[in-house]
Amino acid sequence: MDIQSQFENIGGHFITPIDELKQKLSKIKAYIFDWDGVFNNGSKVGNEGSSFAEPDAMGVNMLKLDYWLRNGDLPATFIVTGEENKSSQFLATREHMNAAFFKCKFKVRALDLICKENDLKPEEIAFFFDDILDVELARSVGASFQINRKANPLFNQYLVDNKSCDYRTGSAGGDGGVREACELIIGLTGSLPRAIETRIEFVGDYSKYLNDRNLIQTICEPVE
């Protein structure tokens, strides 16, 4: 079964034709992740914030590993969120992302900062998002992935009609949406079997990858 059929069979929607999406992804050097509604379903309890699921964290790790195996260096990775959330900072620090930016109500400002400080162009960045506040950033980068929520069919159609993202996941936030998008990217640009075998062996290339990854000191700061 081809990649397109595998992902459409679980509800994924290719807004950009798969060959065109593959071409876009060939230029990507960095990934930005929204938080609420992406790593979780957006639910919060008071000021305690929202959580994440380990399968999504594994997806991000495998995405970075596959990139490292193909390119010999790491992609830059960032969390950009409108709220200050300790769980997002914990995950970013544990996974040695480059930064977790918070209190960012207009997320294109974070994009400008990321490009300036990391010598990146917008077309070299992919974005994982879920909602209306994210659309301007989704339109500004090289590739974008909407984490699905079935409760907003009109918004979903708006993104299709306005070509404001490239792929909508079949899986929801907190229920594997990030993992799905990460596996799709790996499937279109690299080799998931190779990355899996490298992770299983743990020593050798995976040890070298971890050494490189763990040199990254995560920045956690507001971008207002």
Interval 182-199: pLDDT, tens: 999 999 999 999 999 999
pTM of the model: 0.96
H helical segments located in 72-176: 86-94, 108-118, 135-140, 153-161
Interval 55-75: pLDDT, tens: 999 999 999 999 999 999 999
pLDDT at 105: 86
pLDDT at 48: 64
CATH number for the domain that contains residue 61: 3.40.50.1000
Range of the domain at 74: 3-222
Domains identified in the chain, total number = 1
Give me the sheet containing 76-80, strands edge to edge: 13-14, 167-172, 143-148, 125-129, 30-33, 76-80, 99-102, 219-222
